[in-house]
Every structure is written in C-alpha cells, then in structure tokens.
C-alpha cells in the first residue's frame, strides 16, 4: 500500500526534498541567514521555495557589499540562482563605500550576475539623507553601479533634481543625471 502512494505522489515528494535541500545548503554555506521564520512562513512551490515575512542577510566578507533584505515575501527558485522578493526594504553596507538603503515593491536578485533588478517605484536613500525616487532600478553589485531609466527625482534638503536617467558609480561616489534635467529649489532657499 505504501509503495503505491509513493509512486503516485513522487513528484511532490521530490519537490519537498529539493526545497529542504536548498534551504539547508543556504544555511550551511553561511551565505544567507534567515530570521523571523514562524509557522507557515515556509511554503514549497513547484518552482522553488516561498518564504513570508522574513529577513535575508548576505554577509560574505569576500563580496564588496553586505546586505540585508526585509520582505513580505521571498521566493527562491529551485536552482537557487534567482531570489524574488515583494514589498521590501534593503540595506547595503560596505567598508569602502559606506551604506545606503532601497525600498520598493517588487524585485529579484540574480546570484550569477550579482545583479538586483528592482521594478516599479523605488526609493534609494543615502547615508547622509539624500534620496532618489525613480521607476525601475538595476544595481550591479559586482561593479558598484546603480542605473535608473525612468522618472528620476534626486533630492537633498531644499534642492531637488529631476531627470530621465540616473547613473551612480559607488566606487567613485559620482552621480549623473541625464536627459532634460531640471533643478528645483524649495522656498527660494539654496544650501545644505
């Protein structure tokens, strides 16, 4: 009787084992740490593993940035190369380049490319209070490059700059705005 049930449900059994294997490999590699995992927070899906209300850490000292991701939902694809997340807040930290945060609705991280692709409205917050709000952002973690292609507004205090494209080179601490850049000064005051 037991053999018949295993034969009938073997794909589900294999997916469960694969999900457990992926999560255990993530822990053993000390690449990611999960916290706030409660009952019902882990769900096995056909394409991988889904986690709800979690924090995910990348703290590999060999990487240029350490990061922490807090998200309502994270999906790890079964090959472990793509991590998708929704309703998130991320904090990036580097000994060489300081820290910054990103807040948004939807995105994914490609481990192979070491690239974050963030979709929809994204807010980038620098460690000195400067902000950039834009639609869609790509952060090439390995290169230290942040790109935005739509509706960029960069502000710091009373001054804001609006443009269509954004390029930030974290290695040189340079920010570039492109295409129809407009500067706005609140209350007619300029200064820091």
CATH label of the domain that carries residue 112: 2.60.450.10
Count of Cβ atoms closer than 10 Å to residue 113 Cβ: 14
Q: 102 with 122: CB under 8 angstroms?
A: yes
The pLDDT value recorded for residue 129 is 80
- Domain hosting 32: range is 2-188
pTM for this structure? Answer: 0.71
What are the φ and ψ backbone dihedral angles of 2, each rounded to 5 degrees? -65, -35
User: How many folded domains does the chain comprise?
Assistant: 1
CA proximity to 51, closest of 29, 26, 31, 28: 26
CA proximity to 135, closest of 124, 122, 126, 145: 122
Q: Cα separations (Å) of 91 from 20, 58, 97, 149?
A: 27, 10, 13, 22
Mean pLDDT calculated for residue range 34-55: 62
Q: What is the pLDDT of residues 99-135, one digit of tens each?
A: 889 999 999 999 888 899 999 999 989 888 888 899 9
């Amino acid at each position: 009787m037991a053999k018949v049930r295993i034969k009938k449900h073997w794909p589900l059994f294999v997916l469960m084992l694969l999900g457990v294997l992926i999560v255990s490999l993530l822990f053993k590699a000390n690449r990611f740490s999960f916290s706030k995992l409660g009952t019902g927070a882990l769900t096995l899906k056909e394409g991988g593993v889904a986690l709800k209300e979690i924090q995910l850490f990348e703290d590999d000292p060999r990487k240029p940035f350490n990061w922490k991701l807090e998200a309502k939902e994270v999906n790890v694809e079964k090959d472990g190369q793509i991590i998708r997340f929704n309703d998130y807040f991320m904090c990036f930290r580097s000994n060489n380049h300081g820290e910054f945060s990103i807040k948004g609705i939807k995105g994914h991280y490609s481990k192979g490319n070491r690239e974050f692709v963030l979709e929809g409205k994204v807010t980038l917050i620098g460690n000195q209070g400067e902000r950039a709000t834009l639609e869609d952002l790509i952060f090439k973690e390995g290169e230290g490059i942040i790109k935005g292609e739509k509706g960029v507004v960069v502000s710091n205090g009373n001054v804001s700059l609006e443009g269509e494209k954004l390029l930030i080179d974290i290695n040189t601490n340079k920010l570039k705005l492109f295409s129809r850049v407009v500067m706005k000064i609140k209350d007619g005051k300029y200064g820091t």
